[in-house]
Amino acid sequence: MRVCIVGCGAVGSLFAANLAQLGDVEVWAYDLAREHVDAINLDGLRLSGAGDVVGRVRATSDAAELPTCDFGIVATKAMHTESAIRETAHAFTAGSVATVQNGIGNEEAIAQHVDRVIRGTTFPAGKVLAPGHVQWDVKGDTTLGPFEPKPAPHEEVERLADACTRAGLPTQAVPDARGPQWRKVIFNAATNPIGALTGLTHGRVCEDPALRRLVTGLVDEGKAVVAAQGIELDADPEELIDHAAKPELAYDHKASMLQDVEARRQTEIDYLNGGIVRFGAEHGVPTPLNAAIWALVRGLEESWTL
Amino acid sequence: MIRSTCVVGAGAIGSLYAAHLARVGESLVLTRRPQHAAALNAEGLRVSGRHDFEARVTAAADPSDLREPDVVIIATKATGLEPAAAALAGRWPGAMVVTVQNGLGAEEIVRRHGAWQLVSGVTFMSGTKHSDTHVEYILDTPTWLGPWSGTPFERVQEIAALLVESGLQAEALPDLRPAQWSKLIFNASVNTVAALTGLPHDGHFAAEGRDADLGRLVRGLMDEGKRVAAAAGVELHDDPWEMNVLATKRGSAHYPSMLEDVQARRPTEIDLITGALVREAELHGVDAPLHTALYGLVKAREKSYSP
């Protein structure tokens, strides 16, 4: 089976390098960072940290080079989904495409160009250390399920999940993957921008009573949007937030959005709080706090252009 | 008859008051830093911009070096108010004391340190301090004054008249709360958003066309503030949203002090501004979720200065 990772940043690299360990999987990677692509083609794709592997991956920045693939795994930042899938869609005319991205709205963007789409949520995380070399920070589970309006067949979802699991990335194929996805979106939307706006780590956000109440306000709006869609969360984001604040876990973790803001990189706010606001509007659920946070982070991004 | 005034805190606003008041009487200045007082005594105070003149002032960093004035204008930032009032405790019992801090509650803080007759003020004028002895007068918008806790209105009118005579814009109002609350709602909505986004008060604050446009949040904050004002029985002097739109149409975008404070990692005036609004909301049983959220965010931003 042939898999193409679309967007081979930190998370994409975790999938690419691990899947490349399997004898029955040929892995391609599409990424616009030339140095990264060249390094992968020269020396392989190396992971270190939570696992140490080197994967033989065919990388390219030229979508025309991609062969026909059985699966795509989109792992770009959410704001690049549309352009990335538009460029690569020709490789998936006979295949299924999964997303393991943050936020809401990626499946919809992919489905504009591809017929069989897999909804996905993943928790492993890392960061790019150097071209061709990614640090694997945390292991975690991945959940895959059909994207309801343009679903991939269940056997295909299971086939991809099985390959990921065998590659060392525990993955479940489920009939409805919306619960895990919204759980992660609500978690991220309620905590990442608070870190980004205040400069505080996850633990310090949680131990500030006023901020913790704001986090709960954001979570409650997200839960109402989920309930209006008839989706059942697989876990309570509140518990996950407090769990992550423990000193031995992510107390000192700077949210990726705070890292983005410190580096003045565009954030994924449109697909987190922005996604909650959009789905809230569609289902008649007011989301004033998420709208406020969305506007503040967008304003922050605007301030870099002055 | 007001013969002498003392301005406490010679930032941009304080310097503008002190320099202008020197044209109509004895102008004393109480500074925090002795070097600042020494520079003012040696060089005087230069005003440029809308007015252009040099003023002689008598400055000190210790109030016991100054003779009792008829009127004291405390022009420190809200964060400097408490120590400034404490320094005056037990002194100058015959003076009237004017507060012009942003937000609400400055009068109560001063009252804790003495029984002076108090005058509430809000000022819309603005300036830029170029050095300890040079201030540029930028916006010649007015200072509004009103009696606080039984101060006779005639005394307030005398102070307003003196400011007008000195060349500044000023008006005495029998009830200052409508003006004070208009500015409170304006500051609570604009200064916090500027501090959190890093944006100066520019067109973003009035843009409402798209979902995540900042003007929608600013309007939401102002609507919430208006509901608190209504519950507190205050009829606003100006509509804060109109103030906002008007201010963003001026040529150069203003950098609210709260934005400068967070950029310099200094404590902000949030407690007297948004903090006051949130406390009023609680007092009158009105929900203010947006202001509560921004209050928490700016307080947390201050916390982030220390590891």
pLDDT (0 to 100) of residue B156: 98
Same domain, A268 and A138: no
The first and second tokens of residue B249, run together, are 């149409």
Sign (positive or negative) of CA dihedral B216, B219, B224, B227: negative
pLDDT (0 to 100) of residue A154: 96
Per-residue confidence band for B6, with pLDDT thresholds at 50, 70 and 90: very high
Same domain, A269 and A166: no
Q: Which residues of B touch A295 (CB under 8 A)?
A: 212-214, 216-217
Among A173, A203, A232, where does a domain finish? A173
pLDDT (0 to 100) of residue A248: 78
User: Exposed, middle or buried: residue A304 (CB in 10 Å: 0-12, 13-18, 19+)?
Assistant: exposed
The answer to whether residues B38 and B114 touch, using CB atoms and an 8 Å cutoff, is no
pLDDT (0 to 100) of residue A259: 85
**How close does chain B come to A193, measured CA to CA in Å?**
11
Mutation site, A296, A297, A305, A306, interface B, largest B CB count within 10 A: A296
Whether residue B304 has pLDDT greater than 90: yes
Same domain, A126 and A44: yes
**How close does chain B come to A112, measured CA to CA in Å?**
23
Question: Does the distance separating the beta carbons of B212 and A274 come in below 8 Å?
Answer: yes
Whether residue B170 has pLDDT greater than 80: yes
**How close does chain B come to A260, measured CA to CA in Å?**
14
Helices (H), B47-124: 78-88, 106-111
pLDDT tens profile B205-230: 999 999 999 999 999 999 999 999 99
Q: Which residues of B touch A194 (CB under 8 A)?
A: 297, 300
Same domain, A76 and A190: no
Structural domains of chain B, with CATH: 4-172 (3.40.50.720), 177-302 (1.10.1040.10)
pLDDT (0 to 100) of residue B252: 74
Q: Which residues of B touch A274 (CB under 8 A)?
A: 211-212
- Which helix (H) or strand (E) segment is A11 a member of? helix A10-19
ipTM of predicted complex:
0.88
Q: Which residues of A touch B265 (CB under 8 A)?
A: none
- Alpha-carbon distance A57 to A36, whole Å? 12
The first and second tokens of residue B200, run together, are 């100066």
For residue A254, the SS3 value is coil
Residue B161 burial (CB count, 10 A) = 14
- Which helix (H) or strand (E) segment is B47 a member of? strand B45-49
Q: Low-confidence residues of chain A, pLDDT below 50?
A: none
Domain range enclosing A33: 2-173
pLDDT tens profile B243-291: 999 989 877 788 898 999 999 999 999 999 999 999 999 999 999 999 9
pLDDT (0 to 100) of residue A25: 98
Among A126, A148, A173, where does a domain finish? A173
Same domain, A197 and A113: no
CATH code for position A45: 3.40.50.720
pLDDT (0 to 100) of residue B201: 94
Average pLDDT, chain B: 96
Sign (positive or negative) of CA dihedral B175, B178, B184, B186: negative
pLDDT (0 to 100) of residue A225: 98
For residue A212, the SS3 value is helix
The first and second tokens of residue A194, run together, are 């608070």
Of A53, A154, A87, A295, nearest to B193 (Cα)?
A295
Please tell me the pTM assigned to this model.
0.89
pLDDT (0 to 100) of residue A133: 98
pLDDT (0 to 100) of residue B250: 78
**Domain count across chain A:** 2
- Residue B8 sits at φ, ψ, to 5 deg, of -105, 120
pLDDT (0 to 100) of residue A136: 93
Whether residue B15 has pLDDT greater than 90: yes
Same domain, A85 and A233: no
8-state DSSP, A99? E
Q: Which stretches does DSSP call E strand in A42-197?
A: 45-49, 53-55, 58-60, 71-74, 96-99, 117-122, 125-130, 133-138, 142-146, 171-173
Instruction: Count helices and strands (H / E) in chain A.
Output: 12, 12
CB under 8 Å, gap of 24 or more: what pairs does A169-172 form?
A169/A14, A169/A15, A169/A18, A169/A122, A169/A124, A169/A142, A170/A141, A170/A142, A171/A141, A171/A142, A171/A143, A171/A144, A172/A141, A172/A142, A172/A143, A172/A144
Which chain B residue lies closest to A200 (C-alpha atoms)? B304
